[in-house]
């Protein structure tokens, strides 16, 4: 006869998966259990019980921990043996896509737009500016944006500030402020733009 109080060892139960993932992401973030507790608003004792798989946390608690760790809630339910995917795009093999700037003659090459494991969805795009265009529009959207100048140079505006970006230069910005290229300084002006995927 099986003892109903005997510890289960036959597979990764939910408490062990969640506890293990909380600990994994906490260590990855370089946080102590006390720091995670302070950041998430979950008590240090509860964090300890969750990591040791001695309690079943509520979804609200899991959500607060995920937020403090900077990961999606579903990342805490994925066992360490889960399969992860990567998307490889060979040089020049991106998908040409149509964007707001396409009608201005800019060329866009999408390098993928879904992070298969769920976390923050990002879309990397290579943009080549139309060299014949003088009047370049500004853009505004939710989230952050990262640009890395690949070739050429451009004068780039963000809010009230302007920067000259040359090959190898990058900018990380709050995309809620008006931003965009204002002048092509050196042709061809090509850059990598990484944005959150529109939902």
Q: How far apart are CA 46 and CA 55, in angstroms?
A: 8
3-state secondary structure of 86: coil
Every domain range in the chain assigned CATH 2.60.120.10: 95-196
Between the alpha carbon of residue 142 and those of residues 17, 145, 191, 198, the distances in Å are 33, 9, 20, 9
Q: How far apart are CA 167 and CA 170, in angstroms?
A: 9
Nearest 10 degrees: Cα torsion 140, 141, 145, 150: -50
The whole-model pTM stands at 0.53
11-15, 45-49, 143-147: least confident range: 11-15
Every domain range in the chain assigned CATH 1.10.260.40: 14-77
**What CATH number should be reported for the domain whose range is 95-196?**
2.60.120.10
Helix axes 59-69, 14-28, angle to 10 degrees: 20
Helix axes 44-51, 14-28, angle to 10 degrees: 120
Average pLDDT of the segment spanning 66-71: 86
Average pLDDT of the segment spanning 105-115: 71
Q: What sign for the dihedral angle of Cα 100, 102, 107, 110?
A: positive
In this predicted structure, the answer to whether residue 134 has a pLDDT above a threshold of 50 is yes
Residue 33 · residue 48 · CB < 8 Å:
yes
Average pLDDT of the segment spanning 168-192: 92
CATH (one of 1.20.1740.10, 1.10.260.40, 3.20.20.210, 1.10.10.10) for 14-77: 1.10.260.40
Residue 177 · residue 108 · CB < 8 Å:
no
């Amino acid at each position: 006869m099986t003892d109903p109080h005997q510890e289960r060892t036959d597979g990764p139960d939910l408490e062990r998966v969640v506890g293990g993932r909380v600990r994994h992401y906490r260590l990855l973030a370089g946080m102590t259990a006390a720091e995670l507790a302070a950041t998430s608003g979950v008590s240090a004792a509860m964090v300890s019980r969750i990591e040791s798989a001695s309690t079943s946390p509520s979804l609200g608690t899991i959500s607060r921990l995920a937020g403090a760790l900077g990961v999606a809630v579903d990342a805490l339910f994925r066992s360490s043996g889960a399969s992860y995917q990567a998307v490889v795009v060979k040089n020049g093999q991106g998908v040409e896509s149509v964007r707001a700037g396409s009608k201005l003659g800019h060329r866009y090459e999408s390098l993928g737009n879904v992070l298969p494991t769920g976390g923050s969805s990002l879309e990397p795009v290579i943009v080549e500016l139309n060299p014949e265009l003088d009047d370049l529009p500004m853009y505004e959207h939710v989230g952050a944006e990262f640009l890395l100048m690949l070739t050429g140079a451009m004068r780039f505006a963000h809010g009230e500030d302007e920067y000259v970006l040359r090959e190898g230069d990058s900018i990380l910005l709050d995309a809620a402020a008006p931003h965009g290229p204002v002048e092509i300084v050196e042709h061809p002006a090509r850059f990598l733009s990484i944005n959150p995927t529109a939902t």
